[in-house]
Structures are given as C-alpha cells and as structure tokens.
Chains A and B, each alone.
Chain A
Amino acid sequence: MGAAEGQRDRIGAKYGMWFFLFTEILFFGGMFILYAVYRSKYPAEFHASAGEENLLLGSINTAVLLTSSLFMAVAISAVKKGSYRLSVVFQAATILMGLAFLAIKAVEWYEKVARGIYPNSPVLDKMKMGEILFFGLYYVMTGIHGVHVFIGVCVISFMVYFTLTGNVTQENYSKIENTGLYWHFVDIVWIYLFPLFYLIT
C-alpha cells in the first residue's frame, strides 16, 4: 500500500459490508421462518394460492435479476482492471435490469390488486386463513425485497457518478465492491423467494 492510498483498509471495508449482510440474513430469515411455520400449518391453502401467482412473470423476473448480478460482477471486474467506461456501461445495465424487475413486480401487484387481493381487502378477508396468510406474506416479503432492489438501484446510481468523477478507481474500489456484495445478496434472497411463492406444488 503506497502513501498515495492514505489509510485505506480494503479488507476492513469489505468485512464491514459482510457483517451488515449477516444482519440482513437474519432479518430475512425471520420472515422465512414465519413462511415455513404457516406453510406447515396450511399446506393445501398455500399450494392453492401459489397456483394463482403469475409463473411467467416470476420466472422472467428471476432471469432479469440473475442477469443483473452478472452485469454487476462484470462492472466491478472492469473497475479493478481500469476499464472505467466499460464499467459505467455495465453499471447502467445493472440499474436498467433493477428497474425492469421493479416494473414487472409492479405489474404483478397491480394484477392482484385489480382482483381485489391486497392486505385487508374485503375479498381477501373472506378467504380461508391459509390464503390470507399466504398473500400477506407475499406482499410483505416481495415488498421488503423490492425496497432492497430500489435501494440497490439508488446506490448503483451513485457508483456511476463516482466512477465518472474518478472517486471510484482501480486503486479505490471498496465502494463499488461493497455495492456489488449488497446487490448479489438481494439476488440470493429472490433466488429463495421465487420457489417459495411461485413453484410450491
């Protein structure tokens, strides 16, 4: 480490991000436990409700998010290699994929709300207990995941600015590396949400 780098501690910065992700694992873990307990109590109703989910849109969204993770990984490698222009292109592509994910999610939610299925709706309140719980968990878990995607899109937008202004560079890439860790983590959460809400049979 040269004097020009100052007191930078890459490994410390990375471990800090991992510690934050550990708390995120336990945070989402709590909701996955709720899902598991209620699914074990109402297996038939969870099965029937999952059949109402739009499998096509869910699958497309999974592909979109997995692809965005590829773009993010490439963008980080590009910064480390000093190809800043290439990195900005792939960061922008990651943002676009994130926005596409949110747009598709919005269409899914809109479809459901249009059928009267939303928390506390008269239609949902007349359904069986297991179905109320399934859709409640669906809205809370995909909603909180969606908030994470939105935060990720905002943070990556800052990284585009930082890369363009020379704040993120080949020698100083902790910010974008940590952003990538966060983005990939959000991808992993969706990897589990997808089978639980769309593929339960």
Chain B
Amino acid sequence: MVRDAVEREDHIGSYGTYILIWAALMVLLAVTIIVAKVEVSKYSVLLNLFIATVKAGLVLFFFMHLKYERGFLKGLLLMVLLILASVIGLTFSDVWYR
C-alpha cells in the first residue's frame, strides 16, 4: 500500500498528456476571449472567472501533479482555499452591510 502511494507520487507525466492539457488550455483561452468580446450576458464576468478556474484546475492537477498526490495534500490545499474564501466572505459582509 505504502509502496503504491510512493510510486503514484513519483508519477512521471507523459509528454502526450502535457501536450493535450496545453491544447485544452489554449482552447479555453480562445473561449474566454470570445465570451468577453461577444458580451452574451451580464454573467460573462462570472463565466470568465469560471473558465479561469477550469484552467487553473488543469494546471494544478496535471502540470503540478496534484492528481497523483495523496488526499492529505489535496485536503491541505482545500483548507487554504476555504480560508481564502471565508476571508473574502467576511470582507464582503463588512463592505455590503456596513
């Protein structure tokens, strides 16, 4: 079990996978520019932030190998993001309801 975990974390990404991820990132870049230019709706800002998050996820999980890391590290990252989210929430509760 432990040996499996070590081998997973030592995972060597294949060049082909990286090129596919890069291609997906380029497509998403094109989509985000089109979304901004076309101004389909007032939700295009939110949509663009969503696309940015998908791009960030691809970089995190594949280029940064998060996919192959233990749940422990994923949990730590999630905790940091939750701290950031709660600070954003607290800040806005002050800004909006002051």
From A69, A72, A181, name the one whose CB has the most chain B CB atoms within 10 angstroms.
A69
* Mask of A177-193 contacts with B, CB within 8 angstroms, 1/0: 00011001101100110
Interface hits, B69-98 → A, CB 8 Å: 73, 76-77, 80-81, 83-84, 87-88, 91-92, 95
> Could you tell me if A15 and B18 are in contact, using CB atoms closer than 8 angstroms?
no
> Could you tell me if B44 and A188 are in contact, using CB atoms closer than 8 angstroms?
no
Interface hits, A2-55 → B, CB 8 Å: 10-11, 14-15, 18, 22, 25-26, 29, 33, 36-37, 40-41, 55
> Could you tell me if A191 and B55 are in contact, using CB atoms closer than 8 angstroms?
yes
> Could you tell me if A37 and B95 are in contact, using CB atoms closer than 8 angstroms?
yes
Query: Shortest 9 CB-CB distances between A and B: which pairs?
Result: A199-B36, A70-B22, A195-B48, A29-B84, A22-B80, A80-B12, A73-B63, A188-B56, A184-B63
Interface residues contributed by chain A, number (CB under 8 Å): 43
Interface residues of A (CB under 8 A from B): 10-11, 14-15, 18, 22, 25-26, 29, 33, 36-37, 40-41, 55, 59, 62-63, 66-67, 69-70, 72-74, 76-77, 80-81, 180-181, 184-185, 187-188, 191-192, 194-195, 198-201
Task: For residue B63, give the distance in angstroms from its CB to the closest CB of chain A.
Answer: 5
> Could you tell me if A188 and B80 are in contact, using CB atoms closer than 8 angstroms?
no
Secondary structure of the A side of the interface? helix
